[in-house]
Amino acid sequence: MNKQESDILNALLLEPFINQRILAEVSGHSLGVVNRSLKDLIKADYLDDSIRPTVKAITEFKEKTPQRAIILAAGFGMRMVPINTEMPKGLLEVNGEPLIERIIKQLHEVGIKEIYVVVGFMKEKYEYLIDEYGVELVVNSEYAAKNNLHSLKLVKEHLENSYIVPCDIWCDRNPFHRHELYSWYMVSDLVDNESNVRVNRKMELVTVPESSGGNAMIGICYLIKDDADIVERRIEELCGNQRYDGSFWEEALYHKDRMIVAARVVHSADVVEINTYEQLREIDSDSNQLKTDAIQVIGKALNAKSDEVTDITVLKKGMTNRSFLFTCKGKKYIMRIPGEGTDQLINRRQEAEVYHTIDGKKICDDIAYINPENGYKITEFLEGARVCNPLNYEDVKKCMKRLRAFHELKLKVNHEFNIFDQMEFYETLWDGTPSVYKDYQKTKENVLSLKPYIDANVSEKVLTHIDAVPDNFLFVQQDGKEEIRLIDWEYAGMQDPHVDVAMFCIYSLYNKRQVDRLIAAYFTEGCDDATRIKIYCYIAACGLLWSNWCEYKRNLGVEFGEYSLRQYRYAKEYYRIVQDELKKQKESEDK
């Protein structure tokens, strides 16, 4: 049977045959297709002469009947800022009903009770579904580092005769059925520039060039046994390749230039994927989740109503925080919401003190609001700003000049950022878990042995940024002139200002030649050997500091890939470089 014949046979199982015209309306196919298909179905013994399903047809229906469902609900839902800081996307409410509960109820309506929900982010919020609806929760511990292809791998043995459903959809009509005769993937009739596929005349889903537009991909899929077996093998194959860590599960449906399953096209109003705050507001302006704490904070800070907060767009997730761009009263702002575990890492009162100290000096971005209790921050958006390119020496020289000028202001605050104390503190946050590095204790001993040399060569401590990395230097145009603003002062405190030079190096993943070049850019008058060696010491110490920080974040499910490994390498390599430099210095003195 082809797709059209299957649709017509399915319609005949649901309702007895009356006439071809009614059958065309129910099946969604033309009168010509209906007439041709009826002849072929009778010829193939799926229908008898009275146009009733035969034993053969009923047997095939039973073999392909939906038996289970998999709901994918592990991800952050990053585009749902600011809601995703308080609630996982599957529990967003439309008309007072959580999305995932509506999906489960619609599955129950067609007799499907075997339901697996793959969870990760805020997994505890879904626990009640076990008792309320009898679902089975499957935990994806890698949800922060890998996409939902890896979620589906955890339940791959349940793909046969199964619906696969994203948790962030709202379906006006029930998209599930008691009977299915073929595998399909659901798309809408809406054109979407982010879609990878379009429906051709044969109702196949063929790939389209990037950004050329295709049918909006809804994400609901049904798999019969033969196709489920293929998808299971593909999932195993793809998950074994790191290239696909960030892939969506649909990658397993492709063969060459098309999907292995047919298209099921629905009207864009019948099934809505809710990816953003704006989409939720459009479908249900009274949803409880629209009253999120962040929106209320914006309203109070900017003296605005919630409907004046528009154009909400997620920004790239930072290493510590989540941020989003929004418009209010014709002006653009950025709101920062602290990320996982930052309450352990950042003293928000101290951060607020730093911002108070630098206020009005045009050193940082313009702060519209900061909360010293929870770290919520609103800043004015700097239109056309760009970050420093650490591989562009002209950029680097300008940034070092700006950094030096800031240091020479010799600003004071009431707290210090102690590198070695913080290093120990981050280690305590591991809760007794040993380091992932086999030689950690030896590396730590070596780094700690550099402290006396550092202490002996610190001349003065001033307000230091600590996180003076390329991404935190913004180049902006103000009144026709280029200015550099230094942003993100979470770790700032009293310290040797030369720590900022070391921090720039290790975040840029500089080699020693690039490190020496940066030092020359900061010290335009020349740098003495003792200060240069001290900066090497800071590179070793700060490398271990951020390596420990990365180990803590890894325990929270946040992975930083090469960055974390390189920080640990800085701790080891620059300890050796310092020893070599001190040896050379001693040999020179002995001559």
Query: Does the pLDDT value for residue 576 go beyond 90?
Result: yes
Alpha helices in 508-561 (DSSP H): 512-522, 529-555
pLDDT at residue 411 in the model: 96
Q: Which residue has the higher pLDDT, 520 or 365?
A: 520
CB contact at 8 A, 137 and 127: yes
Q: Is the dihedral of CA 24, 29, 35, 40 positive or negative?
A: negative
Range in 45-59, 78-92, 135-149, 196-210 the model is least confident about? 78-92
Q: Is the pLDDT of residue 408 over 90?
A: yes
- Element holding 398 (H helix, E strand): helix 393-407
* DSSP-based three-state secondary structure for 216: strand
For the chain, the average pLDDT equals 88
Looking at residue 82, its pLDDT comes to 67
Look up the pTM and report it.
0.64
Burial of 42 (0-12, 13-18, 19+ CB in 10 A): middle
Share of the chain above pLDDT 90, in %: 53
pLDDT (0 to 100) of residue 289: 59
Q: What is the pLDDT of residues 530-574, one digit of tens each?
A: 999 999 999 999 999 999 988 887 877 666 778 889 999 999 999
Domains of the chain: 3-63 (1.10.10), 66-273 (3.90.550.10), 292-381 (3.30.200.20), 384-590 (3.90.1200.10)
- Average pLDDT, integer, range 106-123: 95
Report which of residues 307 and 129 the model is more confident about. Answer: 129
- Rounded to an integer, what distance in angstroms lies between the CA atom of residue 219 and that of residue 108? 19
Contact 152, 118 (CB under 8 A): yes
For residue 287, pLDDT over 80 is answered with no
pLDDT of residue 84: 62
Is the pLDDT at 223 greater than 80? The verdict is yes
Distance CA 348, CA 491 (A): 9
Strand partners for 163:
69, 222
Judge residue 270's burial from the number of C-beta atoms within 10 Å of its C-beta, 0-12 exposed, 13-18 middle, 19 or more buried. middle
Q: What is the pLDDT of residues 314-333, one digit of tens each?
A: 775 444 567 888 899 989 99
Of 177, 330, 322, 136, the closest CA to residue 264 belongs to 177
- What does the block give as tokens for 6? 């299957």
Q: Which pLDDT does position 196 carry in this prediction?
A: 86
Model pLDDT, residue 142: 87
Asked if 168 and 274 touch (Cβ cutoff 8 Å), the reply is yes
- Please tell me the least confidently modeled range out of 287-291, 294-298, 399-403, 565-569: 287-291
Query: Which tens digit of pLDDT belongs to each residue from 29-83?
Result: 888 888 888 888 888 888 888 888 888 888 888 889 999 999 999 987 666 666 6
Give the pLDDT of residue 321: 62
pLDDT confidence of residue 564: 87
Tens of pLDDT, residue by residue over 304-314, are: 888 888 888 77
Q: Is the pLDDT of residue 387 over 80?
A: yes
What pLDDT shows up at residue 343?
63
Distance in angstroms (rounded) separating the CA atoms of residues 351 and 415: 10
pLDDT classification of 102: cutoffs 50, 70, 90: very high
Residue 319: the pLDDT is: 45
| Residue 555, token pair as written in the block | 């325990």
Which of the two residues, 277 and 178, has the higher pLDDT score?
A: 178
> If pLDDT is split at 50, 70 and 90, which confidence band does 290 have?
low
pLDDT at residue 286, rounded to an integer = 64
Q: Measure CA of the first residue to CA of the last residue in the chain; give whole Å.
A: 93
| Position 190 pLDDT exceeds 50 | yes
